[in-house]
Chain A
């Protein structure tokens, strides 16, 4: 009994500042001070439908909050793309030569993935955390944290729960909730890769694989595999509409 009491005293829930600190670690690890580009594979499985599979190049300039997604394969989709600029997400379709402003909830290429899955992590800026519990996730001990969006921030989901690996601080699981409290999707990050960045003078973390399960349309799932990453500086022209258009001339 005394031992239990001592153990309870020894373990205390992380403070608010500590929780924000955890989120900042997650954000900082994924942020590169310079540019970022990656080659990703996106696979979508939907009930009663053929599988979809894309290969896309992702270009990021975190300092300017800019993001470009350029679809490379399959051939019929090649040249399609997204551009995030100043809180706007634009989609370009070369078949019709048109741009269109899309929302944060845009299903990238019709898959279960969204802009936030490819963009830099801004959890500490966008959400306020509260501690839920310490739990086990498979073999791992995790801190379960609930996040509520801060006022005036436009995000895909206003409420999020995170399962952070206690040992490494990495996100292992994430659940996104609608305003009503309805669970919308569950995402798993089973492994994280680290790559040294010259511009950051530190390692940049990125998930090796992302598994997204649709909780509304049960049976629909998306797998994202980040195949290659390069952190060398990018041409600023990449983050323009003209660059994406130029790929289809």
Chain B
């Protein structure tokens, strides 16, 4: 009875105070818009970040050793060192445990390390090919390569004049000049023909050191069961080549890393200059940063020149000369001038470069299908090398960027990773013990070394006789390279043995805490010394960034929400207090305090519901529009967080429910206090205030 009456009166009052309620309602509607939109953006960002990271490499969970010295950082951090995350000694045990946990969908064994690729400078590469051609009896190829080496020497000769001004080591300078003179002399081809290998050896140690150092390629290796990895991580996308099958060795290099570090430096710089002009609207001009970059790139012309076979260079020369309007000069001069691009000729030169020059040089240091000689320090400290086929190039969808290298993990099959990681086997440990035992001797620590070594004073010199074990050593042969490491391995090796960390895919990605707790409980029950961490923790720097962004976004939304609430509260307090006289009248005609309070709250609630619905509709429209056009990432780091260049937010009932609920609750709370105050005013006082 009283509720129906209150509702009727409330509706009447809402109509009676239409203007005032419109103003309050607008404030509430805007508050709802903020809250719902903020919640939708926050949730969308959270979902996007989780999808971006978990579908790229981490999975929802990661498992690694409990006694790890460093925290796991699957996506890497700023340092060049590799974290010591301990070991998972036997994958089979963990697989068994994970199989018993209903939440777990897939187990992907991994390992994280780094390696370098054997390399050399431009002359080293030519001489390496020359040695190969001589050994293969390919005289035509050898002649062309020798000619190329001689052209390089010709180009280096004028450099000696520059070096003369900088060096005080005149003897070395004279030696270097003599080397160049010998290589470029008319008789050198004859010398080479007479004894090719000794001549190459001589060039190796005299000519090659005159070129600038070659590029060192570093790879951050993520060892994995590549089949499971590429199947399970949906952001993986093969760009070129093929994914190594189970049982095949191979590595997959990320596209952005390949472009940045393995492309011919002149070509890469030309790409970047063009991007800055076309995409960023920069100009080269005649001064400034871009102009300086162009000039520097022009001075790097040798990166092109040294790779051109003489016959190709001869054929190219007139074409480049024509591009340059028929200027005089040798190939070095022409290339230097060609690379000094301007705003006017950038496009035509760029097109010419890729049409005529690029096909004749090694545009990339390595190409798909090459056998890469990797080298890494093993766990036990040995320097370990391994040939692994460069099987393909991949990209992580949404991770491509121009400004920074967003995708740096080279994927390698787990078995090759284990080889490079080099955990000592029992037989290797036994061999090591045998070697040590064969020598015997003592251990002396640094703290007491001088007393231990020189404290006795028992004489320093002894006379010995010649050793007799060398005949056996001379006869030693260690077997063919190919026989030591096979290109394939038994696929079942991926199911057991060593891993450093394991990615876990959950059946329901929205239930990460539940999955984490269940798997950790099962691992603890099985007595495995392993820990389970969720993707944010496992991702490393990116994961921390995700958390920071989430906190910042939550604070921003929270501040917006608080400000909205304060405004709503003020508006309602003022609106209620203005009606003190009216309340006094109601009280004078017999309305009880509770009825008055309920009436005022009901009025506010009616306005709040209407406003919240309007605000939510506005938020839905706004988020829907943003979801259509996308929020641009702006910088590469955000593109990782967004999982692409744009964030496409979406809105659900949860966000609308949250917004409507919050706004209604705050409105009621904000009305309650002034309503109680107003209802508490004696009718006489209230009526006097009207007069």
Min Cβ gap B90→A in Å is 20
Asked if B473 and A72 make an inter-chain contact with CB atoms under 8 angstroms apart, the answer reads yes
Q: Which of A13-21, A73-81, A113-121, A174-182 contacts B (4 or more CB under 8 A)?
A: A73-81
Report the separation of the CA atoms of residues A142 and B384 in the bound assembly, to the nearest whole angstrom: 41
Asked if A39 and B463 make an inter-chain contact with CB atoms under 8 angstroms apart, the answer reads no
A-B contact pairs, 22 of them (CB 8 A): A50-B424, A55-B435, A74-B428, A85-B204, A88-B209, A90-B204, A93-B373, A93-B375, A95-B385, A95-B484, A97-B373, A110-B382, A138-B453, A138-B456, A140-B457, A172-B460, A195-B463, A195-B464, A195-B465, A211-B444, A211-B453, A213-B449
Q: Which residue of B lies closest to A37 (CB)?
A: B470
Asked if A53 and B462 make an inter-chain contact with CB atoms under 8 angstroms apart, the answer reads no
**Cβ 8 A contact of B460, one of A45, A186, A191:** A191
Asked if A109 and B383 make an inter-chain contact with CB atoms under 8 angstroms apart, the answer reads yes
Asked if A138 and B470 make an inter-chain contact with CB atoms under 8 angstroms apart, the answer reads no
Query: Which residues of chain B are near A77, meaning CB under 8 Å?
Result: 382
Q: Which residue of A lies closest to B484 (CB)?
A: A95
Q: Which of A2-10, A122-130, A226-234 contacts B (4 or more CB under 8 A)?
A: A226-234
Asked if A75 and B204 make an inter-chain contact with CB atoms under 8 angstroms apart, the answer reads no
Asked if B120 and A100 make an inter-chain contact with CB atoms under 8 angstroms apart, the answer reads yes
Q: Which residue of A lies closest to B454 (CB)?
A: A138
Asked if A93 and B457 make an inter-chain contact with CB atoms under 8 angstroms apart, the answer reads no
**Cβ 8 A contact of B478, one of A55, A240, A248:** A248
* A72-B473, A139-B457 known; A50-B120 Cβ under 8 A: no
Asked if B454 and A97 make an inter-chain contact with CB atoms under 8 angstroms apart, the answer reads no
**Cβ 8 A contact of A39, one of B201, B209, B374, B470:** B470
Asked if A97 and B206 make an inter-chain contact with CB atoms under 8 angstroms apart, the answer reads no
**Cβ 8 A contact of B201, one of A213, A219, A240:** A240
Residue from B206, B385, B465 whose CB has the most chain A CB atoms within 10 Å: B385
Asked if A96 and B118 make an inter-chain contact with CB atoms under 8 angstroms apart, the answer reads yes
Report the separation of the CA atoms of residues A209 and B452 in the bound assembly, to the nearest whole angstrom: 13
Asked if B204 and A241 make an inter-chain contact with CB atoms under 8 angstroms apart, the answer reads yes
Asked if A229 and B454 make an inter-chain contact with CB atoms under 8 angstroms apart, the answer reads no
Report the separation of the CA atoms of residues A100 and B128 in the bound assembly, to the nearest whole angstrom: 10
Number of interface residues of A (CB under 8 A): 84
Report the separation of the CA atoms of residues A242 and B195 in the bound assembly, to the nearest whole angstrom: 13
Q: A43 in the interface, Cβ–Cβ < 8 Å?
A: yes
Interface residues of A in 201-228 (CB under 8 A from B): 203, 205, 208-209, 211, 213, 218-219, 221, 223, 225, 227-228
Min Cβ gap A244→B in Å is 11
Report the separation of the CA atoms of residues A45 and B202 in the bound assembly, to the nearest whole angstrom: 37
Q: Which residue of B lies closest to A140 (CB)?
A: B454
Query: Which residues of chain B are near A227, meaning CB under 8 Å?
Result: 439, 467
Q: 4 closest Cβ contacts across the A-B interface?
A: A138-B454, A228-B467, A139-B457, A96-B373
Q: A199 in the interface, Cβ–Cβ < 8 Å?
A: no
Asked if B204 and A96 make an inter-chain contact with CB atoms under 8 angstroms apart, the answer reads no
Q: Which of B166-174, B393-401, B545-553 contacts A (4 or more CB under 8 A)?
A: B166-174
Query: Which residues of chain B are near A93, meaning CB under 8 Å?
Result: 118, 373, 375, 385
Query: Which residues of chain B are near A229, meaning CB under 8 Å?
Result: 464, 466-467
Report the separation of the CA atoms of residues A76 and B373 in the bound assembly, to the nearest whole angstrom: 16
Asked if A94 and B197 make an inter-chain contact with CB atoms under 8 angstroms apart, the answer reads no
Min Cβ gap A207→B in Å is 10
Query: Which residues of chain A are near B169, meaning CB under 8 Å?
Result: 151-152
Q: A27 in the interface, Cβ–Cβ < 8 Å?
A: no
**Cβ 8 A contact of B435, one of A74, A97, A151, A248:** A74
Interface residues of B in 344-387 (CB under 8 A from A): 373-375, 377, 379-387
Query: Which residues of chain B are near A223, meaning CB under 8 Å?
Result: 441
Asked if A139 and B455 make an inter-chain contact with CB atoms under 8 angstroms apart, the answer reads yes
Asked if A98 and B477 make an inter-chain contact with CB atoms under 8 angstroms apart, the answer reads no
Interface residues of B in 413-466 (CB under 8 A from A): 424, 428-429, 431-432, 435-436, 438-439, 441, 443-446, 449-451, 453-457, 460-466
Interface residues on B, range: 35 or more
Min Cβ gap B116→A in Å is 10
Query: Which residues of chain B are near A161, meaning CB under 8 Å?
Result: none
Q: B19 in the interface, Cβ–Cβ < 8 Å?
A: no
**Cβ 8 A contact of A51, one of B206, B208, B432:** B432
Q: Which residue of B lies closest to A103 (CB)?
A: B213
Residue from B118, B387, B460 whose CB has the most chain A CB atoms within 10 Å: B460
Residue from B201, B451, B478 whose CB has the most chain A CB atoms within 10 Å: B478
Report the separation of the CA atoms of residues A76 and B425 in the bound assembly, to the nearest whole angstrom: 11
Query: Which residues of chain A are near B481, meaning CB under 8 Å?
Result: 94-97, 248
Residue from B198, B377, B443 whose CB has the most chain A CB atoms within 10 Å: B443
Asked if A249 and B477 make an inter-chain contact with CB atoms under 8 angstroms apart, the answer reads yes
Report the separation of the CA atoms of residues A170 and B53 in the bound assembly, to the nearest whole angstrom: 63
* A139-B455, A240-B201 known; A96-B387 Cβ under 8 A: yes
Report the separation of the CA atoms of residues A231 and B201 in the bound assembly, to the nearest whole angstrom: 26
Query: Which residues of chain B are near A94, meaning CB under 8 Å?
Result: 478, 481, 484
Interface residues of B in 202-226 (CB under 8 A from A): 202, 204-206, 208-209
Report the separation of the CA atoms of residues A229 and B462 in the bound assembly, to the nearest whole angstrom: 14
Asked if B457 and A52 make an inter-chain contact with CB atoms under 8 angstroms apart, the answer reads no
Complex interface bits, A147-163 against B, C-beta within 8 A gives 1, otherwise 0: 00001100000000000
Report the separation of the CA atoms of residues A99 and B131 in the bound assembly, to the nearest whole angstrom: 11
Query: Which residues of chain B are near A230, meaning CB under 8 Å?
Result: 466-468, 470
Report the separation of the CA atoms of residues A103 and B621 in the bound assembly, to the nearest whole angstrom: 65
Min Cβ gap A245→B in Å is 9
Q: Which residue of B lies closest to A197 (CB)?
A: B466
Query: Which residues of chain B are near A205, meaning CB under 8 Å?
Result: 461
* A50-B424, A85-B205, A241-B204 known; A193-B463 Cβ under 8 A: yes
* A195-B465, A213-B449 known; A41-B205 Cβ under 8 A: no
Q: A137 in the interface, Cβ–Cβ < 8 Å?
A: yes
Q: A105 in the interface, Cβ–Cβ < 8 Å?
A: no
Residue from A41, A95, A139 whose CB has the most chain B CB atoms within 10 Å: A95
Q: B190 in the interface, Cβ–Cβ < 8 Å?
A: no
Asked if A39 and B455 make an inter-chain contact with CB atoms under 8 angstroms apart, the answer reads no
Asked if A49 and B462 make an inter-chain contact with CB atoms under 8 angstroms apart, the answer reads no
Q: A200 in the interface, Cβ–Cβ < 8 Å?
A: no
Q: B480 in the interface, Cβ–Cβ < 8 Å?
A: yes
Q: Which residue of A lies closest to B127 (CB)?
A: A99
* A93-B373, A140-B457, A211-B453 known; A41-B435 Cβ under 8 A: yes
Asked if A221 and B457 make an inter-chain contact with CB atoms under 8 angstroms apart, the answer reads no
Report the separation of the CA atoms of residues A113 and B466 in the bound assembly, to the nearest whole angstrom: 24
Query: Which residues of chain A are near B202, meaning CB under 8 Å?
Result: 86
Asked if B204 and A74 make an inter-chain contact with CB atoms under 8 angstroms apart, the answer reads no
Q: B476 in the interface, Cβ–Cβ < 8 Å?
A: yes
Q: Which residue of B lies closest to A214 (CB)?
A: B446
Asked if B469 and A49 make an inter-chain contact with CB atoms under 8 angstroms apart, the answer reads no
Min Cβ gap A141→B in Å is 10
Asked if A225 and B462 make an inter-chain contact with CB atoms under 8 angstroms apart, the answer reads no
Query: Which residues of chain A are near B454, meaning CB under 8 Å?
Result: 137-140, 172, 188, 190
Min Cβ gap B643→A in Å is 38
Q: Which residue of B lies closest to A73 (CB)?
A: B435
Q: B661 in the interface, Cβ–Cβ < 8 Å?
A: no
Query: Which residues of chain B are near A54, meaning CB under 8 Å?
Result: 435
Query: Which residues of chain B are near A192, meaning CB under 8 Å?
Result: 460-462
Asked if B436 and A101 make an inter-chain contact with CB atoms under 8 angstroms apart, the answer reads no
Asked if A170 and B461 make an inter-chain contact with CB atoms under 8 angstroms apart, the answer reads yes
Q: B105 in the interface, Cβ–Cβ < 8 Å?
A: no
Min Cβ gap B194→A in Å is 16
Min Cβ gap B415→A in Å is 15
**Cβ 8 A contact of B208, one of A38, A43, A101, A151:** A101
Report the separation of the CA atoms of residues A88 and B206 in the bound assembly, to the nearest whole angstrom: 8
**Cβ 8 A contact of B480, one of A53, A173, A248:** A248
Q: Which residue of A lies closest to B214 (CB)?
A: A101
**Cβ 8 A contact of A52, one of B381, B453, B460, B466:** B381
Asked if A98 and B456 make an inter-chain contact with CB atoms under 8 angstroms apart, the answer reads no
Q: Which residue of A lies closest to B467 (CB)?
A: A228
